[in-house]
A = this chain, B = another copy of it.
């Protein structure tokens, strides 16, 4: 199937996640960046001049020369990827949706809005059904979909095979999160070199809430949140990329270790989701080595879109313990949003 590429814009294009969008969309078979937007001090400059480009490779040619625009509803590409700060994203994204744009957001602003689909295509693609209700309730011709927080993305996708098979009911999770999760400049080196900071503002609440919504049941325009009790401990560690999480999990039906591993290894996306360009062949893999996964070694599984699970073992208190690793700026941010946009296109929700 060849189709003309869908024009897309990037909101917040000069930041860390914005740059990740530019990098991941270079050569994308379905999407073409035609507009970039950022804050006032960048407006009017060519993207190459406005950005402090951090990637090792060069800025993709077709983007380098784009003149940075304001983040406002004059952005008229059919899809807008939002890498905006949560403090700004709310009204801007709504304005674009009202103007007919399909906003695919990485911001937290609308994730818990009952009418906004919070999506991981391998986990809950049916939540896309909320879009019709959203359009109707809000009177928008466009819409908003969101991907989860970076650590939630890895945790929920890593648990998805087990939830589907055995029903997650209780979860204690402790994260060890990379500094790239805080953007740039983000975490001061004085705070984190040779250190751990046992606190990330707002992160524990996000993991607890978003997990319930992502595993929720969709029916008739409503997502009913899953009844899962989640207790999160979030920590920042001196790692560049890759969020690691250690989990104690209780299930409706207690699985043995071998059952759990088998469920993970059997997990495959639906055919429709497997056909999306960003969906990896194996969204979740199990690594049987005793000391894996590790952020630096296992980060790039599935080009950053695969979550790695390891150390599945009994839990003395709940049922099982395990370790989950995900790439926070790919599966946990820009890559997740791009995959969501692909799902929208495949579902016919984008009329470019």
Contacts and interface: CB of A to CB of B under 8 A. Distances in A.
Given A174-B233, A176-B176, A317-B231, A193 B195 contact: no
Given A193-B192, A197-B294, A176 B316 contact: no
Contacts of A235: 176, 244, 246
B237 A237 contact: yes
B189 A192 contact: yes
A239 interface: yes
Nearest to A247: B233
A323 interface: yes
A248 B233 contact: yes
Given A190-B180, A235-B176, A301-B56, A244 B198 contact: yes
A315 interface: yes
B239 A195 contact: yes
A194 B318 contact: no
Interface string A166-203: 00001110101001100011111111111111110000
Q: Interface centre among A187, A188, A190, by most B CB within 10 Å?
A: A190
A290 interface: yes
A103 interface: no
Interface in A292-314: 292-301, 310-311
A54 interface: yes
Contacts of A196: 176, 237, 239, 244, 294-295
Contacts of A321: 231, 233
Contacts of A294: 195-198
B317 A172 contact: yes
Q: Interface centre among A180, A193, A294, by most B CB within 10 Å?
A: A193
A291 B54 CA distance: 12
A229 interface: yes
A174 B246 contact: yes
A23 to B, nearest CB: 13
A119 to B, nearest CB: 24
Q: Interface centre among A189, A237, A291, A293, by most B CB within 10 Å?
A: A189
Contact of A291 (B174, B179, B193, B198): B198
Q: Give the 7 A-B CB pairs with smallest separation, nearest first.
A: A174-B174, A185-B188, A194-B194, A233-B246, A199-B291, A195-B296, A231-B317
Given A56-B300, A194-B238, 17 more contacts: A172-B172, A172-B318, A174-B246, A179-B190, A180-B190, A186-B188, A193-B194, A193-B238, A196-B244, A196-B295, A197-B291, A198-B294, A229-B316, A231-B317, A231-B321, A233-B248, A240-B296
